[in-house]
């Protein structure tokens, strides 16, 4: 078994159950899912179970579809677009900000007051922030990325871009806590509005 697979299996065995956005290892499993040949858009969360001596991982989509996927195949990887790699690297870079916000935030959904399955949400969407930053740099962004246990990350050569993004995100983001249900409703609403504006 490769070192990468050993690491993923070890983490998976420690977090049996649901892995939702905002949880410590969500980005790791998101990166694996993005590399998986079974990948489909619209993933909401992951379910980790036991499978013989290993762990079984399934992605759960917005419509409730369950897609089991292989850790080994995901590590081996499928072709990823540069834009996907950039998105994942930029998410990884701001992960400490998101984690710090969750630690300090009031432990309830800003919409319904629930304290169950809380997830960190960007009030101005992450995609808008990402595009805004890239546009502020004349549309240029790195073309090469490294793949580590945490997923796609920036190379040392692009450390200045990464630090600029971290500072931009901190200055322009507005984070909040939403329960899973409110987060899902808000995300769907954002996507509908984005689709409408793009078609006009």
Enumerate the β-bridge partners of residue 177. Answer: 120
151, 78 in Cβ contact below 8 A?
A: no
Element (H, E) at 112: none
User: Distance between CA 135 and CA 141 in Å, rounded?
Assistant: 9
pLDDT at 138 over 50: yes
In this structure, CATH architecture of domain 3-76: Roll (3.10)
Name the DSSP class of 156: G
Q: What is the pLDDT of residues 146-164, one digit of tens each?
A: 877 666 789 999 999 999 9
Question: How far, in whole angstroms, is CA 80 from its chain's centroid?
Answer: 15
**Confidence at 170, pLDDT banded by 50, 70, 90:** very high
pLDDT of the residue at 35: 84
User: Distance between CA 71 and CA 35 in Å, rounded?
Assistant: 10
Domain layout of the chain by residue ranges: 3-76, 82-199
**Confidence at 1, pLDDT banded by 50, 70, 90:** very low
Average pLDDT over residues 26-49: 85
147, 92 in Cβ contact below 8 A?
A: no
Q: What is the pLDDT of residues 57-80, one digit of tens each?
A: 999 987 788 888 888 888 877 667
User: Distance between CA 89 and CA 26 in Å, rounded?
Assistant: 14
Mean confidence (pLDDT) of the chain: 86
Structure token digits, residue 68: 């089991």
Is 176 in a helix, a strand, or coil?
Answer: strand
Any idea which of 17-31, 87-101, 125-139, 157-171 has the lowest mean pLDDT? 17-31
């Amino acid at each position: 078994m490769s070192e990468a697979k050993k690491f993923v299996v070890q983490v998976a065995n420690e977090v049996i159950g649901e892995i939702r956005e905002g949880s410590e290892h969500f980005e790791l499993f998101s990166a694996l899912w993005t590399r998986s040949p079974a990948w489909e858009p619209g993933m909401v969360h992951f379910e980790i179970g036991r499978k013989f001596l290993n762990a079984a991982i399934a992605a759960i989509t917005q419509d409730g579809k369950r897609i089991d996927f292989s850790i080994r195949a995901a590590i081996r990887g499928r072709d990823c677009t540069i834009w996907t790699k950039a998105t994942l690297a930029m998410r990884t870079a701001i992960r400490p900000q998101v984690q710090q916000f969750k630690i300090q935030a009031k432990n309830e959904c800003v919409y319904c007051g629930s304290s169950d399955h809380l997830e960190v949400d960007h009030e101005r969407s992450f995609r808008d922030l990402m595009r805004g930053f890239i546009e502020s740099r004349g549309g240029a962004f790195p073309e090469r990325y490294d793949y580590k246990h945490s997923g796609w990350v920036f190379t040392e050569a692009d450390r200045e871009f990464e630090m600029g993004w971290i500072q931009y995100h901190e200055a322009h983001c507005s984070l909040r806590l939403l329960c899973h249900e409110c987060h899902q409703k808000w995300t769907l609403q954002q996507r509908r509005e984005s689709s409408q504006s793009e078609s006009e």
